[in-house]
Structure 1
Amino acid sequence: MKDGPEYGFDTLQIHAGARPDPATGARQTPIYQTTAYVFRDADHAAALFNLQEVGYIYSRLTNPTVAALQERVATLEGGVGAVCCSSGHAAQIMALFPLMGPGKNIVASTRLYGGTVTQFSQTIKRFGWSCTFVDFDDLDAVKAAIDDDTRAVFCESIANPGGYITDLDAVAKIADDAGLPLIVDNTSATPYLCRPIEHGATLVVHSLTKYLTGNGTVTGGVVVDSGKFDWTASDKFPSMSEPEPAYHGLKFAETFGPLAFTFHSIAVGLRDLGMTLNPQAAHYTLMGIETLSLRMQKHVENAMEVASWLEGHAAVEKVTYAGLPSSPYNDRVAKICPKGAGALFTIALKGGYDACVKFVDSLEIFSHVANLGDTRSLVIHSASTTHRQLTREQQEAAGAAPNVVRISIGIEDPEDLKADLDRALNAVM
């Protein structure tokens, strides 16, 4: 889009990053299914490889379809740039990669997706990194967990699976006072419900697989760069502030300013880690984002109606939806997610583990899958699936105890959803 007025979200979700194809005039962004790109001449090629000119070299690094998606997500999040990659998990590694080094650590919320807990507690150890998990409601504990080797603070805006809403402003202040970037996973909220950069986040990550694509067809991830962090304020981030040997001593922060993280993630991260998003997946996500606001409005409306109804069901012990007045996090909705508390929450069943298993097996409209954020309503018993690798204590801290079922509310008729849930819940009573 051309520079001009500040467009509204509904306009940007359709037009940001999208321009008529210069070769054909095609209005929808084409799928540029190509590996490489022809250089104008030898000098052009050298300039691209020296990072002296922006352009396309090889689709592991950059691709026009993926670039359109990067621009769209960055615009919706209020960032200066973004880097897409192959999955949400890849996005988390991509976000940490320029910041970390052997012996360094991150401080993360205990309320995270089970796969993220495993990635941070187990897998990153192989890089020589470590993670300290803290209850982010205990701000003093967050401060105490930060030490001289900490390089980032990590949380989710709306936590998976329980729908817990993080007080981003309070956490951002702690990170800022410590001179550290705050990384926020905004998958469950999307930029329609929450814009973490406005609350002090340095980087925002998404699993594109979920609400942004919205139809359960592809996997993808993205890291959005706020452009607001001073990478030269200390010696903690040499990848940004010190000379890069692979580019003849170029300093990313000095050369690219607010876009330093974005350029480093492409020129070094994608170059060497190779976590590339394919152009067809980018195309599906671009089309999905065109209806993001419409879908999220319906997701939230349905979630509020279904969660309120579930709260009064005889088989249900507890509902964790932050949109409910009974939620201890309801007061954060207006500040962090003013358009609604999302569509992800859990229910605890009075019958325990066995009741949860029978419940998910008795549903018809709800699909029992390891995914969320689909137009279809989804359900999963986290303790026996996505959070199975965690200890009992970790499961409970994450909101995925054995008697808990995660529910992702879709955009179907809410009366049909309640009827399906009612049949399954009565089956376990």
Structure 2
Amino acid sequence: MKTRAAPAANLAYGFETRAIHAGAAPDPTTGARATPIYQTTAYVFDDVDHAASLFNLHDFGYIYARLTNPTVAVLEERIASLEGGRAAVAAASGHAAQFLTFFTLMGPGDEFLASRALYGGSLTQFGVSFAKLGWTCHFVDPADPENFARALTPKCKAIFIESLANPGGVVVDIERVARIAHAAGLPLIVDNTLATPYLCRPIEHGADIVVHSTTKFLSGHGNALGGVVVESGKFDWAQDGRFPSLTDPEPAYHGLKFFENFGDFAFTMKARAVGLRDFGPALAPMNAFLTITGVETLHVRMERHVANARRVAAFLAAHPKVAWVSYAGLPASPYFELAQKYLPKGAGAVFTFGVEGGYEAGIKVVESVRLFSHLANIGDTRSLILHPASTTHRQLTEAQRKAAGAGDDVIRLSIGLETADDLIRDLDQALGT
């Protein structure tokens, strides 16, 4: 049976075309147009020599589902294409993607810097759980990029920021932080979950590694957990001997040196061949399939997400029971100019506002909505609401919550694809009860 190949990789296809086609082609055996779900744990080798070449990383192919899977591979290539990266490795969740990233970079006693304006789970992962592995995170106020330069230590291995912070909507000056990182010989890691590559392109502004919780906007329907790490292919891992994990002989592969052998995709190869192999946070084929399906409509969905968010944010900004709105798409936002530069198509669809009356008033609002869903997720087709101080950020101190943009009066919204007037009406009645 004849099938058409995927579009040539060397052509400059548009974002929308790549969101639908990158990494995929009709199935060569059946002609199936949609990427199949390869629900298998293992793959047959041609012979002993073929198996040996795969296990030694001399040839590329499929060995075992903890390392590689054809459905997952399509998703990896597609997101790498959309981010403008060299290669990607998928994981079971966004947190798993972050773990693989830092495991590939760090050793016991190493340190890194991170914006303090992060998702609450990342603050805990970096500040508490990573400490148990001997990794130290120094949290930095990202409002002034020079704070990162002042916080650097000789043991630092990376700088981590969110392009659009969850939940406060803080926009970080990626280019300035990238310059600081590179001057110190460090990679800049950017979590691009809230913005997605449709709204923000961190690699074009100097990022070396991009991570996502694909669970959010990339999947888009609240039905598939996942994460991904994208490597730009531009960072020199050999400088100053600072990254022995990538430059020194790897005992598990007969002394193979990842950067020497794999060059501009050495980081993702190491994350896959060692991190995925030894810790096992593999993405399930079904979740990869659901995320691929979601990515195909990413550009269409993000346009509606942003349009709805602008209307809802403007409504809340004028509401008498709302003390403030933190949305970078509003001209009054201190991040408005940065958003125009880094998010020219819109400042995303997740933002916060403060309700008059503090903690108790915030709880009352989330318990009074009828159309919004009260749950701990973002990036769904459905509009979602949360009171971070009593949920996602409750494990933090009051000072940490405020620093992360999750104070007692804060309500987080993830604006979905419903009719904007219906969302506004629902919030209006909840604020008025």
- Partner residue, 1:320: 326
What is the rounded CA distance, in whole Å, between the counterparts of 2:184 and 2:196 in structure 1?
Answer: 27
Match of 2:366 in 1: 360
2:267 maps to which of 261, 264, 277: 261
CA contact 1:157–1:166 (8 Å) conserved in 2 = yes
TM-superposition CA deviations, 1:235-264 (whole Å, max 9, x none):
110011111111111110010010101111
Does 1:219 pair with 2:225?
A: yes
In 2: Cα distance, 1:164 partner to 1:265 partner: 29
Partner of 1:105: 111
Cα deviation, residue 22, structure 1: 1.2
Structure 1 counterpart of 2:155, from 149, 156, 167: 149
The residue type equivalent to 1:49 in the other structure is F
Contact kept, 8 Å, 1:157 with 1:168, in 2: the verdict is yes
SS at match of 1:390: coil
Asked if residue 59 in structure 1 is aligned to residue 80 in structure 2, the reply is: no
**In structure 1, what is the equivalent of residue 81 of structure 2?**
75
Q: Does residue 215 of structure 2 align to residue 200 of structure 1?
A: no
**Does the residue aligned with 2:65 lie in a helix, a strand or coil?**
coil
Letter in 2 for 1:152: A
Query: Distance between the aligned counterparts of 1:136 and 1:101, measured in 2?
Result: 25
1:405 paired residue number: 411
2:339 matched residue in structure 1:
333
Is residue 94–residue 265 contact of structure 1 (8 Å, CA) maintained in 2?
yes
Match of 1:385 in 2: 391
Look up the SS of the partner of 1:183 in the other structure.
Answer: strand
Question: 1:275 pairs with 276, 281, 286, which one?
Answer: 281
SS at match of 2:105: coil
The residue number in structure 2 matching 1:29 is: 35
Match for 1:295: what amino acid? R
Partner Cα distance (2:264, 2:193) in 1: 24
Corresponding residue to 2:20 among 14, 21, 24: 14
**SS in structure 2 at match of 1:422:** helix
Equivalence for 2:146:
140
Q: Please report the TM-score for the alignment, with normalisation by the length of structure 1.
A: 0.99
**Who is 2:188 aligned against?**
182
Q: Deviations over 1:184-232 (max 9, x none)?
A: 0000000000010001011000001000000000110000010110000
Whole-angstrom CA distance in 1 between matches of 2:349 and 2:169: 8
Deviations 1:316-348 (A, max 9, x none): 000000000000000011211111100011010
Could you list the runs of 5+ residues in structure 1 that have no partner in the other structure?
Answer: none
Q: CA deviation at 1:424?
A: 0.1
Matched, 1:126 2:132: yes
2:4 equivalent in structure 1: none
Alignment of 1:83-94 (within 5 A): 83-94=89-100
- Count of residues paired in the alignment: 427
Q: Distance in 1 between matches of 2:224 and 2:135?
A: 30
**2:353 is the alignment partner of 1:347:** yes
User: In structure 1, what is the equivalent of residue 53 of structure 2?
Assistant: 47
Deviations 1:35-79 (A, max 9, x none): 000000000000001100000000000000000000000000000
* Alignment check: 8 A CA contact 1:349 1:403 kept: yes
Q: Which amino acid aligns with 1:382?
A: P
**Contact residue 300 and residue 342 of structure 1 kept, 8 A:** yes
Checking the alignment, whether the CA contact within 8 Å between 2:145 and 2:173 is kept in structure 1 is no
Q: Judge conservation of contact 1:30–1:283 (CA < 8 Å) in 2.
A: yes
Which of these residues, 307, 314, 317, is aligned with residue 308 of structure 1?
A: 314
Paired with 1:419 and 1:367, the residues of 2 have a C-alpha distance of 15
2:171 is matched with 165
Contact 1:98 1:237 in 2 (8 A): no
Contact kept? 1:157, 1:189, Cα under 8 Å: yes
Give the corresponding residue for 1:424.
430
CA distance in 2, matches of 1:139, 1:349: 30
SS of the residue 1:272 aligns to:
helix
CA contact (8 A) 1:241 1:251 kept: yes
For residues 283 and 150 of structure 1, the distance between their equivalents in structure 2, rounded to whole angstroms, comes to: 37
Q: Which amino acid aligns with 1:326?
A: A
SS of equivalent residue, structure 1 residue 12: helix
Q: Measure, in 2, the Cα distance between the counterparts of 1:2 and 1:25.
A: 18
Distance 1:92 1:38 in 2: 31
Q: CA deviation at 1:163?
A: 1.1
Letter aligned with residue 346 of structure 2: G
Give 1:4 deviation, angstroms: 4.1
Sequence identity of aligned pairs in percent? 59
Match of 1:230 among 214, 217, 236: 236
Alpha-carbon distance in 1 for matches of 2:144, 2:314 = 28
Deviations 1:346-404 (A, max 9, x none): 01011111110110000011000000000100000000000000011110000000011
- Over the aligned positions, Cα root-mean-square deviation in angstroms equals 0.7
* Counterpart residue identity of residue 276, structure 1: A
User: Given residue 140 of structure 2, which amino acid in structure 1 is its aligned partner?
Assistant: V
* Aligned-partner Cα distance in 2 for 1:7–1:138: 37
